[in-house]
């Protein structure tokens, strides 16, 4: 998977929130063979400077690319400022851009998202926009400078899977050369496999792994699901039919009187 001219070894990206402990988080990231680790600037700094420094050192020890995010931002100004702070702290131009429009569903404010994406792209950021599966929003984000699309599967943390398979399939067909990463709402490995079978390029998740009874085992399960789903897509799946199709041919069947 190539994102912003960077070749990544796997197609799974994993978050760092909600784990029972940093040690379990590190084990889960290793079990998932995650190519990228996401981190919230606000969450990372919430515990005070000492805690923040320790967590930052812990993240450095993972030896994986970091994708800071603007989680919890509700306005363009808030998201842009948070992104600028994240670039300074984490020394990366990559940013997962979130501009939240609704507190109950955590649905993106797509109008603010496009505006913030344009500002950050002009400042040299490599923007990963957390978006709905809307074609026009995708068009505007690409025009604003984004080279990756990150549609949600379902509301963050809901574990509902893919609420709009048609929307994701349409995005894939309209933008065949743009990397599409399904972000948010996945609950079980089969959800990830389904997204990959649709032709999506990767998966970003957090809650389904971090809040599992065994996060390490769940991380491994998602990793295998992503691989199997990708192989299924590349193999060319049999299209669904309304009628049965016999696997044993009728031609040559003996006729008994």
Does residue 247 lie in a domain region?
Answer: no
pLDDT of residue 46 exceeding 80, the answer is no
> Could you confirm whether 253 is annotated as catalytic?
no
Task: Please count the residues of the chain.
Answer: 257
Q: What is the pTM of this model?
A: 0.90
Q: Name the residue among 6, 11, 70 with its Cα closest to residue 38.
A: 70
Full residue range of the structural domain in which residue 202 is found: 2-235
Range from 42-46, 110-114, 200-204 carrying the lowest mean pLDDT: 42-46
Tokens 């690319």 -> residue: 65
Does residue 253 lie in a domain region?
Answer: no
Q: Is 157 labelled as part of a ligand binding site?
A: yes
Amino acid 35: pLDDT: 96
Does residue 252 lie in a domain region?
Answer: no
Does residue 244 lie in a domain region?
Answer: no
Q: How much is the average pLDDT of 44-69? A: 74
Amino acid 58: pLDDT: 79
Amino acid 139: pLDDT: 97
Q: Which residue among the candidates 57, 63, 96, 126 is catalytic per the annotation?
A: 96
Does residue 153 lie in a domain region?
Answer: yes
Q: How much is the average pLDDT of 19-28? A: 93
Amino acid 254: pLDDT: 64
Instruction: State the Cα–Cα distance between residues 56 and 62, nearest whole angstrom.
Output: 10
Q: Is 206 labelled as part of a ligand binding site?
A: yes
What CA–CA distances, in Å, run from 23 to 20, 40, 58, 108, 215?
Answer: 8, 18, 9, 32, 11
Phi, psi dihedrals of residue 126, rounded to the nearest 5°: -100, 105
Instruction: State the Cα–Cα distance between residues 31 and 12, nearest whole angstrom.
Output: 11
Amino acid 252: pLDDT: 63
Q: Is 229 labelled as part of a ligand binding site?
A: no
Work out the pLDDT band at 133, boundaries 50, 70, 90.
very high
Amino acid 253: pLDDT: 63
H or E, element range at 79: helix 76-90
Amino acid 245: pLDDT: 80
Q: Is 153 labelled as part of a ligand binding site?
A: no
Q: Distance of alpha carbon 5 from its chain centroid, rounded?
A: 18
Look at 54 and 104; give whichever has higher pLDDT.
Answer: 104
Q: Which two tokens stand for residue 257?
A: 């009187």
Q: Is 185 labelled as part of a ligand binding site?
A: yes
Instruction: State the Cα–Cα distance between residues 76 and 173, nearest whole angstrom.
Output: 30
Does residue 16 lie in a domain region?
Answer: yes
Work out the pLDDT band at 52, boundaries 50, 70, 90.
low
In this prediction, what percent of the chain has a pLDDT beyond 90?
A: 80
Q: How much is the average pLDDT of 12-26? A: 94
Amino acid 49: pLDDT: 56
Q: Return the CATH number at 7.
A: 3.20.20.70
Amino acid 202: pLDDT: 98
pLDDT by residue (tens digit) across 140-177?
999 999 999 999 999 999 999 999 999 999 999 999 99
Does residue 241 lie in a domain region?
Answer: no
| Cβ atoms of residues 194 and 186 within 8 Å | no
pLDDT by residue (tens digit) across 78-99?
999 999 999 998 899 999 999 9
pLDDT of residue 45 exceeding 60, the answer is no
Count of domains observed in the chain: 1
Does residue 245 lie in a domain region?
Answer: no
Amino acid 50: pLDDT: 60
């Amino acid at each position: 998977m190539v994102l912003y001219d960077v070749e990544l070894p796997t197609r799974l990206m994993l978050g760092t929130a909600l784990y029972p402990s940093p040690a379990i988080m590190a084990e889960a990231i290793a079990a998932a063979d995650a190519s990228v680790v996401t981190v919230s600037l606000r969450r990372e700094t919430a515990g005070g400077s000492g805690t923040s420094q320790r967590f930052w050192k812990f993240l450095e020890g993972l030896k994986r690319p970091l994708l800071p995010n603007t989680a919890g931002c509700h306005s363009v100004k808030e998201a842009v400022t948070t992104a600028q702070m994240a670039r300074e702290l984490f020394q990366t131009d990559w940013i997962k851009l979130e501009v939240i429009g609704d507190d109950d569903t955590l649905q993106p404010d797509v109008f603010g998202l496009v505006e913030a994406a344009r500002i950050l792209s002009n400042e040299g950021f490599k923007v990963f926009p957390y978006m709905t599966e809307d074609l026009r929003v995708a068009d505007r984000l690409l025009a604003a400078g984004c080279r990756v699309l990150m549609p949600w599967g379902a509301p963050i943390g809901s574990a509902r899977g893919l609420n709009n398979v048609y929307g994701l399939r349409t995005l894939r067909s309209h933008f065949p050369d743009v990397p599409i990463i399904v972000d948010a709402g996945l609950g079980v490995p089969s959800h990830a496999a389904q997204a990959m079978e649709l032709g999506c390029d990767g998966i970003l998740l957090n809650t389904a792994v971090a809040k599992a009874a065994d996060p390490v085992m769940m991380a491994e399960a998602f990793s295998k699901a992503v691989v199997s789903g990708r192989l299924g897509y590349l193999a060319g799946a049999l299209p669904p039919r309304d009628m049965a199709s016999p696997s044993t041919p009728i031609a040559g069947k003996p006729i008994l009187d």
